[in-house]
Every structure is written in structure tokens, then in C-alpha cells.
Amino acid sequence: MVAVVHNRSNGKLCFVFIPSRYIFLLLMSLGLFLVYAFKGFLGVAIVAMVKHQNTSKLIDSECPADDSENGYNNNGKSGEFEWTDSQQTLVLGAFFYGYVVTQIPAGIAAEKIGAKWMFALSLLITGILSLLGPVAARLGQNSIIPFFLTRLGQGLAQGMILPCMNTMIAKWMPKTERSRAISITFAGSAMGSVVSLPLTGYLCDESFLGGWPAIFYLLGIAACVWVVFWILFVFESPDTHPYISQIEYNLIKKGQGDEIITSKRQIPWKSILTSYHVYASIVAHFGFNWGYLTLLTLLPTYFTNILHMNIKTNGLISSLPYIANTIVSCLASYITDKLRERGVNITLLRKINNSIAFFGTGIFLIAVILSKCNKTWSIVFFVIGLGLNGCSYSGFLANYVDMAPDFAGILMGFCNAFGNIPGFAAPQTASLIYKNGQTLETWSYSYNLGV
């Protein structure tokens, strides 16, 4: 039922249908949806962009293709660009070269000048560069530089996202809702992969908007539309929201206890740089992303070159692990918050979630290696492994807000800068491993590193 309430601050009437913090979470989750769609779709799109004969030497006898699968796409179309494997690896990693650079400055700025407008600016820049992506790729033809720069620019822009997210969650969410808030937000990131990967595969195999360029245009337009909604309906904090109900405002403030979230405090750099908790978080973040980003960027290539899936099947199957990831993250966050309400130590809960995520993913990546050419079991193990990885959102990723809610943005920025080095290091390492040919053996080394 829609209730009419008085504005908390100036008495204006407004309609309250959904709590303001839920609207914030919804739009934040949709923002992360777009962020991870931009991060991951190129892994599928590049299969259609490059000419087939320039991929690594394949040993087809290892994993014979089914009659229904002829690799790349059903129509036998070849890509436009003669990019070598090393050039493709650079393009796939370009986003992360930029991404790690802006993490720490963004964390500082989010604490000092506000996260709402930085978040909006980030996705606006990303959307515009996505619209320019096909033009840049064709401008360079066999040179990757123009297209590389668009991906680098997107990474620079999106480096602002997670520090802004943590800053705003610390301001908007009561303590006992934070695990769920972070998991719901990151569920958007997983769903970004769930939707964008099969959609990319489908569009690359069709003639709509020229095939592979279509996904660049659609994501670019979607980002620009999202920015409008974000600006209109999201506010920096409950204190600046003109229409939040007094009941919800009191609930948030009471739920934050003795925390005083302010942007005026001096950042305690000495405490941050000398805290072993911070460095433990960096190690956890680095390890998490080495496995996660290896799969995000390279899984479509593995499905195409080793298991010989066509591009539509590739996009669809590549999305399945992220569906499992979303389901597990939501279940884990709900259980974690309920146990926290009952007095279970939050540090213990974070460690349990982290252990399930890391050990579970590692075990099932080993199982993928052992399954070899068996497509069914490879897919099952990928799905379970990345699904269990969803517990990490109630593990170390939620810990930044627990450690120092007043500096959650700078902590996320500082740790995420180092934690996302695998975004470009993992593809480069994989490229070196299989430079003399993509085989089950060489790919197993990549997955062993992910473990």
C-alpha cells in the first residue's frame, strides 16, 4: 500500500512505496550489473571480432567437436581483425590496466566529495566509450591501439565504482543488513555476466547492428539511461535525502549504533599502512580475483578453442556459473546476517564464508582439469566452483565496511587496486603458458594457478 508521509526535513508531501535504502540498493545493483557486463562481454565478443586462422594452434584430436558444434559461430563467419594471441591478451587486459590506477584516488575522493556523482560519472564515461568501441576497433584495423585506449579509459572510469559503493553502503545500511546489501549489490555484478555473455554470443551471430558491434551499442545506451535514474532517485546519504520517512531514517541510524559516518575526518594513512588486517584483505582480494577474473576473461576462449562450442552455445554456457554465484551469494548473506543478529561473532562468520569460497572453488577447478574433454562434467564443475565463490561476498568483500565504516571507500580502493592486478596479469600469464599451442595440458596450468 502506498503511504503518504511528510518529508523528514521540510514537510513536503511525498509518496513512499519502497524504502529509500531499497531503491538505492536496486539502482546500485543495476549499476554493478552494467559494470560487470562491460568487464566480461569482450571475452565472448573477441571470438567474433578476430579472424579464425590467427588464433593459437589447436590440437583438435584431443577434444573432437560434436557434429552440432563447429566452433566460433553457426554461420561460419570470420572476424574482421587480424589480431595475434598476444594482441588479444592485451586487449582483454586493457580494462584492468586502467582499473587499478584510479582505485585509491577514487576511494579518497568518495570519502571527501561524495560518492553519488562519482558513480554516475564513471558509468557515463564507460557508456560513451562503449558507443565509440566499434569505431575505434575499425579505425585501427590490425593495430589494437585505438580500441585498447577505449578499454583502458573504461577501466580508468570504473576504478571509481567499488570505493563509491562501499562508501554509500556504510552510510545507508544498518549493520545487520550489510551482508545482504553487499551480496545483493554483487548479485547484480554476477547477473551482468549472466545476461551479457549469452546476449553477446547471440548478437555476434546475427546481423542486427552489424553483429558484434551491437553489444557495444546496447550496453552504452543502457549505461546512459541508468545514469539518469541514478541521478534522479539516489542521494548521498539518509541525511541528504529529501523524502526519506522518519521511520526509515531512525531505523538506519539506530542500526548503525555508535558509528558516525562523516566525510570530514582525516584519513588515517599510518593506521591503514601498518595494519596486518589490511594486508590480509589484499592477499584475499588478490587470490579471489586471480581465479574469478581468469574465468571471466578466458572461460569463453577455453570453451571455443578446447571444447569447440559455437559462439551462441559459448555465451550461454559461460553465463551458468554466474547464475549459481548469484544464488549462493544471496543465500550466504541471508544466513550470515541472521546468525549475526543472534550474536555469532562476525569475524568467525566472515572467515567461514571465505573458506567455503576459496577452498570450494579451488577443489572444483581441479575437478575441471580432471574432467578433460567431458563437456558435461566440465560445465558442472565450473558452475559449482564459481557458485561457491559467491560466499566471498559475505566474507572478505563485506569486511571492508566492518573494519572501518567511515573509511570503507578508501579501504576498498586501496585493497582493490592490488586485488585487481590479476585482471591483466592472469591473461598475460595464460598467454605465455599456451603460446605454443592451446591444449588441455597448457590450459590445466592456467587453472592450477587459479587454484
Distance CA 287, CA 300 (A): 21
Q: Among 423, 368, 433, 446, which residue's Cα sits nearest to residue 85?
A: 433
Q: Which three cell numbers stand for residue 147?
A: 580500441
Give the rounded percent of residues in the chain with a pLDDT score beyond 90: 13
* CB atoms near residue 333 (< 10 Å): 26
Q: Where are the alpha helices (DSSP H) in 173-261?
A: 178-204, 213-233, 246-255
Report whether 322 contacts 390 (CB < 8 A). Answer: no
Q: Which three cell numbers stand for residue 338?
A: 541472521
Give the rounded percent of residues in the chain with a pLDDT score beyond 70: 82
Residue 93 has pLDDT above 90, yes or no: no
> Residue 208 carries which side chain, given as an amino acid letter?
F
Element (H, E) at 4: strand 3-6
Distance CA 114, CA 110 (A): 5
The backbone torsions φ and ψ at residue 5, rounded to the nearest 5 degrees and listed phi first, read -130, 165
More confident residue, 46 or 17: 46
DSSP secondary structure code for residue 51 in this structure:
-
The answer to which of 12-16, 21-25, 154-158 has the lowest mean pLDDT is 12-16
What average pLDDT does the segment 302-308 reach?
Answer: 75
For residue 237, the model assigns a pLDDT of 84
The answer to which of 173-182, 196-205, 401-410 has the lowest mean pLDDT is 401-410
For residue 11, the model assigns a pLDDT of 38
Residue 203 has pLDDT above 50, yes or no: yes
What average pLDDT does the segment 377-401 reach?
Answer: 84
Summarize the chain as % helix, strand, coil (round to 5). Answer: 75, 5, 20
What average pLDDT does the segment 5-31 reach?
Answer: 69
Which pairs count as long-range contacts for 50-53, CB under 8 Å and 24+ apart, including other chains?
Answer: 50/79, 50/80, 50/81, 50/82, 50/83, 50/88, 51/78, 51/79, 51/80, 51/81, 51/82, 52/78, 52/79
Note the pTM of the prediction, 2 decimals: 0.73
Sign of CA dihedral 205, 207, 213, 216: negative
For residue 448, the model assigns a pLDDT of 55
pLDDT band of 13, cuts 50, 70, 90: very low
Q: Which class for 76: exposed (0-12), middle (13-18), buried (19 or more C-beta within 10 A)?
A: exposed
* CB atoms near residue 258 (< 10 Å): 4
Distance CA 124, CA 229 (A): 12
Q: Among 261, 250, 226, which residue's Cα sits nearest to residue 114?
A: 261
For residue 182, the model assigns a pLDDT of 79
For residue 105, the model assigns a pLDDT of 81
For residue 427, the model assigns a pLDDT of 74
What average pLDDT does the segment 156-184 reach?
Answer: 82
Q: Which three cell numbers stand for residue 90?
A: 592485451
Residue 56 has pLDDT above 70, yes or no: no
For residue 60, the model assigns a pLDDT of 46
Residue for grid cell 562508501: 167
Q: Among 324, 329, 327, which residue's Cα sits nearest to residue 354?
A: 329
